[in-house]
């Protein structure tokens, strides 16, 4: 069974630009969560989508948004990029929402110059 895939794997943007990251979950998984990983803060939860609805949101500004499509694929958008947004963005999928194991993709490395 194919794992979680994320595209692109690497991105370089400049301050003020916006970016869209894509995530395809494991086949049959309906829940997709996004995390930001930085050396200083570690892994931090961004948001969770289930059945095309955002069910949970972490403590990030409104510049961070996302959506989920009917096939469970998800996209994450960051507008007005700041230097501090440079990070590894990870997508994880799980079958459902409660205590199901999350499986992570390889991540998208975003660098903001």
Is the alpha carbon torsion for 75, 76, 80, 83 positive or negative?
negative
By CB under 8 A, residue 97 contacts other proteins: yes
User: Considering only residues 42, 53, 62, 70, which one is a binding residue for other proteins as defined by CB under 8 A?
Assistant: 42
Q: Which stretch binds other proteins (CB under 8 A): 12-20, 60-68, 73-81, 96-104?
A: 96-104
Token look-up 């499509």 returns: 69
Whole-angstrom distance, CA of residue 72 vs CA of residue 24: 7
Closest CA to 31 of 73, 93, 107: 93
By CB under 8 A, residue 99 contacts other proteins: yes
Contact assessment for residue 56 and residue 48, using Cβ atoms and an 8 Å cutoff: yes
- In the complex, the smallest distance separating the C-beta of residue 22 from other proteins, rounded to whole angstroms, is 15
User: Which residues sit at the interface with other proteins, rule CB under 8 A?
Assistant: 4, 6, 31, 33, 35, 42-45, 48, 50, 55-56, 58, 88, 90, 92, 94, 97-107, 109
């Amino acid at each position: 069974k194919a794992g979680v895939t994320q595209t692109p794997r690497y991105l370089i943007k400049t301050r003020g630009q916006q970016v869209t990251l894509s995530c395809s979950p494991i086949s049959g998984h309906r829940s997709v969560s996004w995390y930001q990983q930085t050396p200083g803060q570690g892994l931090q939860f961004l948001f969770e989508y289930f059945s095309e609805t955002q069910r949970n949101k972490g403590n990030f500004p409104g510049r961070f948004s996302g959506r989920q499509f009917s096939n469970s694929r998800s996209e994450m958008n960051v507008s007005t990029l700041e230097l501090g947004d440079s990070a590894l963005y990870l997508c994880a999928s799980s079958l459902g929402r409660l205590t199901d194991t999350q499986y992570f993709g390889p991540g998208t490395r975003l660098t903001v110059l």
